[in-house]
Amino acid sequence: MNITPFTPDDWLLLLDLLKRVGLPRDGLEAHRECTLVIRDGPTIIGCAAIECYGGAGLLRSVAVDAAHRGRGVGEALVRAAIELAQRRGLHTLYLLTTSAADYFARFGFRAVSRDDVALAVRQSVEFNDVCPASAVVMQLDVQAGESLDDSSLLIIGNDQRPGA
C-alpha cells in the first residue's frame, strides 16, 4: 500500500470514498494539490487533504474505507499529511471533527477555541459552510511536530509498531 499525491484520475474514486464514509466533499476540489491517497492495488482505500492558507493549514477529508480500518492506514495518512504540511512550510495545522478528537490528540492536536483559528482558515468553506458549529476545533504546531522520513510514510502494511 502506497501513499501518493492525488491525480486527476483519482477524483471520482475519491468522491465515492468520501461519500461512503459520510465526509463532506464541498470545497475539496480547490485543494487537490495537497490531497493524498492510499491504494491497495488500484483501489483507493484512504485519503487526507490539507487546505493551505499562508502559514496555516486545515487538515480535512481524512478517510479510510471501512474494510481497511484498524490496520494503520489512518495513522499513515495523518502522519503523511503532517509531513506534507511541514514540507509546505506551514506553521499551524487545524482540523474540525465531530467524532475523532481523541484520535487526533494522539498526533499532538489539541482542542482550541474557534476564535484562536487563523482568520483565513475561519473563512474556508469547510469551516464556514460544511462542518457544524458543534465540531471540535483542534490545532497542531506543525514545525514542532514529529518529523518523519519519507520511507516511513509511503509504504505501510506489515508494520509491527504497536497500534499500527
pTM, whole model, 2 decimals?
0.83
Residues in the chain with pLDDT values less than 70 = 144-164
What are φ and ψ of residue 4, in 5° steps?
-135, 160
**What pLDDT, in 10s, does the model give residues 116-153?**
999 999 998 888 777 877 889 999 999 855 544 443 34
Please enumerate in sequence order all residues whose Cβ is within 8 A of that of 86, keeping only pairs 6 or more positions apart, or say none: 142, 143, 145, 147
Q: What are the grid coordinates assigned to 128, written together?
A: 464556514
What are φ and ψ of residue 44, in 5° steps?
-75, 120
Where in the chain are the domains?
A: 2-154
Write out the CATH class of domain 2-154.
alpha beta
Please enumerate in sequence order all residues whose Cβ is within 8 A of that of 17, keeping only pairs 6 or more positions apart, or say none: 44, 45, 46, 47, 63, 65
